[in-house]
Amino acid sequence: MSNSNSSKLTLIPVMIAFFTMGFVDLVGAVSNNMQEDFGLSDSAANFFPSLVFFWFLIFSVPTGMLMNKIGRKKTVLLSIIVTTLAVFLPLFDSFMPTKESQLWLMYISFSLLGIGNAIMQTSINPLVTMLVKGHLASTLTFGQFVKAIASFIAPLIAAWGATTAAPILGLSWRILFLLFFIIGMVATLWLGMTRIEEEPIEGKASGFVDCFKMLGSPIILLSFIGIMCHVGIDVGTNAVAPKILFERIGGAGDSLSQFEYATSLYFAFRTLGCFTGSILMRKLNIRTFFTIIVLMMALSMVGFVFGTEKWELWAAIALVGY
């Protein structure tokens, strides 16, 4: 491996790390399959996505402090290891003696998934910023595209495992965890063996008090609320879109796993929005652009509430994703 931080080869394991960041988006597809397997209520099944993203609140600031001490690469590597462990644990739930113990194993797995992703989200952009001296925005956008691939294929693999591939290794939809575990191991080993010379981090990481003081600025407070809404809509659509289609257009012999494609449709349009949005922002006034986006999302919510035809629900999913 070249010692040059600008080497394109150095970015390959970092892009694979971006792919592992997308593991977190399996929570929607998996929670729906778990609801059927464990006989969970809607509120109990929807608790799992909430559990994943709860850890962002706890670990985001401490990760910044940790990164100052051990460096960017080691922090990203730690996030991949935790994420890989998270997708490894569910492979052993069949060895658990009771349904309750299997459920607790999934609680631990989803918690680790959230912790690993929180560490990753905090540390991977600073690592890319250090590696790429030019074309930073396009590199980060490509990283998000790689992440979106994992988000897009996760529900498809889960649906395939729950139906066509159910007999394979007896894993059913859990085959998703096996495939992601293998990719996580590759990412860990590749990044671990890649030599990256890091520049020293200057200054001191902000603590909890410093972060909360920033909310005194109206624009930061409004942005914070906006991010909360964005994440809520993202996680909610990820988890609930298949259920809405199942309730509105599903037949007597249908199962929830047959509608997992709704999540993939959402992520496909979200990825498309990422690319075209960066172009449109250069051509439109930012307030006009933001107003159009909000109206699109509002129209999507109307479609979710009142839509009863397949095309209406597909349009709602596409609009909110885009």
What pLDDT does 184 receive? 94
Which has the higher per-residue pLDDT, 45 or 298?
Answer: 298
CATH code given to domain 8-321: 1.20.1250.20
What pLDDT does 94 receive? 73
- The angle at the Cα of 56, spanning 52 to 57, to the nearest 5 degrees, equals 120
What pLDDT does 37 receive? 78
Positive or negative, the Cα torsion across 155, 156, 162, 167? negative
Span 217-242, average pLDDT: 86
What pLDDT does 314 receive? 93
What pLDDT does 169 receive? 61
What pLDDT does 25 receive? 82
Span 58-63, average pLDDT: 83
What pLDDT does 84 receive? 95
What pLDDT does 152 receive? 81
Q: Using the predicted structure, report yes or no on whether residue 32 has a pLDDT greater than 90.
A: no
Tokens of 301: 């919510």
3-state secondary structure of 126: helix
pLDDT tens digit sequence for 148-168: 888 888 878 877 776 765 566
Span 185-211, average pLDDT: 80
Burial (CB count within 10 angstroms: exposed 0-12, middle 13-18, buried 19+), residue 293: middle
How far is C-alpha 299 from the chain's CA centre? 24
Is the model's pTM score more than 0.75?
Answer: yes
The pLDDT mean for the chain works out to 83
Q: Using the predicted structure, report yes or no on whether residue 92 has a pLDDT greater than 60.
A: yes
What pLDDT does 5 receive? 45
pLDDT tens digit sequence for 128-153: 888 887 667 778 878 888 888 888 88
What pLDDT does 190 receive? 93
Positive or negative, the Cα torsion across 215, 221, 223, 224? positive
Q: Residue 201 — very low, low, confident or very high, per pLDDT cuts 50/70/90?
A: low
Q: Residue 115 — very low, low, confident or very high, per pLDDT cuts 50/70/90?
A: very high
Span 246-266, average pLDDT: 81
Distance separating the N- and C-terminal Cα atoms of the chain = 38
What pLDDT does 6 receive? 46
What pLDDT does 2 receive? 41
Span 10-39, average pLDDT: 85
Contact assessment for residue 36 and residue 260, using Cβ atoms and an 8 Å cutoff: no
What pLDDT does 113 receive? 92
Distance CA 204, CA 206 (A): 6
What pLDDT does 139 receive? 80
